[in-house]
Amino acid sequence: MGFKYSDSNKRYYTLDYFYKHKFNSKVFKVSLNAGFSCPNKDGKLSTGGCIYCSKLGSGDYAGNVNKSLIEQFNDVKKIMLNKWPNSKYIAYFQANTNTYASVDILKEKYESVLMLDNVIGLSIATRPDCISDECLEYLKELNQRTFLTVELGLQTIHEETSKLINRGHDLKCFIDMVNKLRKNNINVVVHIINGLPYETKENMIETAKFLANLDIQGIKIHMLHILKDTQLAKMYEKNPFHILSKEEYVDIVCSQLEMLREDIVIHRLTGDPNPNDLIEPFWLLKKFGVLNDIDKELKRRDSYQGKFYPK
């Protein structure tokens, strides 16, 4: 069977399909490091950060923070132009918490890349507890003149896990921020992580099921990976917990996709760990193998995104 939002073998709503049909063009997200900090690291909430967070603040593939945003952007653009000469771009503020500064600073950084040729939008990764009312007003205004997406880290709906990973906010804070953003018609993409310590398959499916009923436009599903020099690495060394096998991960992701609304765009289905820092799981390094196995499993089940979402 063909999935409603697909023109390939995919049985879920890919980001590539969404961009192609919205902008009638190949669109790339260009990852940038704007040098922001995080309240979970600088002492406002905590100094440890989330226990899995790398020293680069989950921006291992964002640009070089020692270069200007324009230089970072052009470095990526040069590579992309060879392959797709007529592309459009979305500037992706990825590393750390990208609304954690005064609105003046945010304006200076966002506007500098918005002025570049063929930049059609901004994607801003942040925390639900880090968007002030003043920032929200600015985002609302930005949303009138560019394609804006706010990416919110949630990781899990389960409060016990949230405390264990030192997330620093609760589920209510997350729901409130989704509602505020949507009230202003701002697109919301949510990050979740499978394989968090001591969570069961049922826990992970519950997280997806919960999000399917929220007014969100996209989701990123990551696999927990343990990186050197993180709190998680120390915890794992001291008291090893179960790491999902590739087969378990594929099974869980397919079950999550079945629970999600068919109109939620799937921005990501696996992680991209830095191989030099990776402790576990090594199967994650074969990204395309994981994605192919998800396709095969959905086909084997004769299933697709939204199959079990109540119509």
DSSP assignment of 41-63 equals TSSSS-SS-STT--TTTT-TTS-
Whole-angstrom Cα distance, residue 258 to residue 260? Answer: 6
305 within a domain of the structure (yes/no): no
117 occurs within a structural domain: yes
The predicted pLDDT at position 62 comes to 61
Number of H-type helices and E-type strands within the chain: 10, 9
- Alpha helices by DSSP H, listed for 41-184, are 69-83, 103-114, 133-145, 159-164, 171-183
Q: Buried b vs exposed e over 227-261: b needs ≥16 C-beta within 10 Å? A: beebebbebbeeeeeebbebeebbbbbbbbbbbbb
Query: Does any domain span residue 93?
Result: yes
3-class DSSP state for residue 268?
strand
Q: Is residue 118 part of a domain?
A: yes
Amino acid 59: pLDDT = 47
What are 148-175's pLDDT values in tens digits? 999 999 999 999 998 988 777 899 999 9
Domain ranges, residue 28: 15-300
Give the residue carrying structure tokens 């600073």: 105
**pLDDT under 70 in the chain at which residues?**
1-2, 40, 42-43, 46-47, 55-63
DSSP 186-240: -EEEEEEEES-TT--HHHHHHHHHHHHTS--SEEEEEE--EETTSHHHHHHHHS-
Number of folded domains that form the chain: 1
Q: Does any domain span residue 307?
A: no
Angle at CA 161, nearest 5°, toward 160 and 162?
90
Confirm whether 309 is domain-assigned: no
What three-state secondary structure class fits 158? coil
Residue 6 inside a domain? The answer is no
Output the domain CATH number for residue 31: 3.20.20.70
Q: Is residue 227 part of a domain?
A: yes
| Structure token pair of residue 27 | 């669109």
* Helix or strand (DSSP H, E) at 251: helix 246-259
Phi-psi region of 39 (alpha: psi -120 to 50; beta: other; left: phi over 0): alpha
114 vs 112: CA distance, rounded Å: 6
